[in-house]
């Protein structure tokens, strides 16, 4: 699984990264996590607002924070 | 340009239809973007179901559609993904489909009507470069 956290370095972007890593750790799930700060790369997804979370090239959320439950459902199923 | 944290993001879309009013809708949206009032994004991206465009629309504070005529393709494209936009239809603002010259004067008049309508208030500051902390 390939996970990308899109954001230019704001507090919410860091928080989202922490939440994703916590879910992965708690569920003992292996995944490649990359932070994407390059604005051109961010916009290549059509994302207009950050933070955003991309899982296997599919944008799951943009412009707002997901709940931990949402992240769990995307990463490991509900 | 992407918006950090999306706290005040107002996304705007044009139908960009084939008729004169569709062309005016496109030029109006580009002008509003250049003035720094709104973030223009691609209606076609939503129509194609591209996840970045769809999720951006769902995460925006406000989505604004500018349609040339009552067919309202832009508004209906947003509604198909469960988003209810603030909708402007240029024929309801006085333009006549098939009989309106595409001029700078007309584009400016429509821009002013939209900005003064109260339903699509521009962000108080530029939404482009500000980032939450």
Read off the pTM. 0.88
pLDDT of residue B129: 33
Decide if A45 touches B, using CB distance below 8 A: yes
Q: Under a CB-based contact definition with an 8 Å cutoff, are residues A13 and A51 in contact? A: yes
pLDDT of residue B126: 36
Low-confidence ranges of chain A (pLDDT < 50): 78
pLDDT of residue B127: 38
Question: Mutating which of A6, A12, A36, A63 best tests the B interface, going by the most B Cβ atoms within 10 A?
Answer: A63
Task: Say how far apart CA B125 and CA A4 lie, in whole Å.
Answer: 29
Question: Mutating which of B12, B49, B52 best tests the A interface, going by the most A Cβ atoms within 10 A?
Answer: B52
Task: Say how far apart CA B112 and CA B65 lie, in whole Å.
Answer: 15
Tens of pLDDT along A48-61? 999 999 999 999 99
Provide the 3-class DSSP secondary structure of residue B22: helix
Catalytic residue list of A: 10, 13
Task: Say how far apart CA B10 and CA B7 lie, in whole Å.
Answer: 9
pLDDT of residue B5: 60
Tens of pLDDT along B74-104? 999 999 999 999 999 999 999 999 999 999 9
pLDDT of residue B122: 55
pLDDT tens digit at each of 133 positions of chain B:
566 664 568 999 999 999 999 999 999 999 999 998 799 999 999 999 999 999 999 999 999 999 999 999 999 999 999 999 999 999 999 999 999 999 999 999 999 999 999 776 655 443 333 344 3
Task: Say how far apart CA A62 and CA A46 lie, in whole Å.
Answer: 10
Number of H helices, E strands in chain A: 3, 5
Decide if B44 touches A, using CB distance below 8 A: no
Across the interface, whether the CB atoms of B2 and A59 are under 8 A apart is answered no
Indicate the residue of B2, B51, B131 with minimum beta-carbon distance to A48.
B2
């Amino acid at each position: 699984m390939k996970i990308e956290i899109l954001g230019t370095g704001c507090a919410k972007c860091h928080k989202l990264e922490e939440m994703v890593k916590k879910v992965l750790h708690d569920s003992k799930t292996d995944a490649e996590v990359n932070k994407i700060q390059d604005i051109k790369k961010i916009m290549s997804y059509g994302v207009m607002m950050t933070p955003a979370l991309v899982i296997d090239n599919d944008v799951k959320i943009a412009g707002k924070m997901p709940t931990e439950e949402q992240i769990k459902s995307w990463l490991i199923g509900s | 340009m992407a918006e950090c944290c999306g706290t005040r993001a107002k996304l705007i879309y044009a139908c960009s239809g084939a008729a004169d009013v569709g062309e005016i809708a496109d030029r109006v949206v580009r002008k509003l973007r250049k003035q720094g009032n709104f973030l223009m994004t691609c209606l076609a991206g939503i129509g194609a179901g591209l996840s970045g465009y769809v999720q951006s629309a769902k995460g925006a504070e406000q989505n604004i559609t500018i349609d040339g005529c009552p067919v309202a393709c832009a508004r209906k494209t947003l509604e198909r993904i469960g988003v209810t936009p603030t909708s402007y239809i240029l024929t309801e603002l006085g333009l006549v489909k098939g009989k309106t010259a595409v001029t700078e004067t007309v584009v400016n008049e429509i821009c002013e009507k939209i900005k003064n309508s109260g339903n699509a208030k521009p962000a108080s500051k530029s939404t482009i470069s500000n980032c939450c902390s």
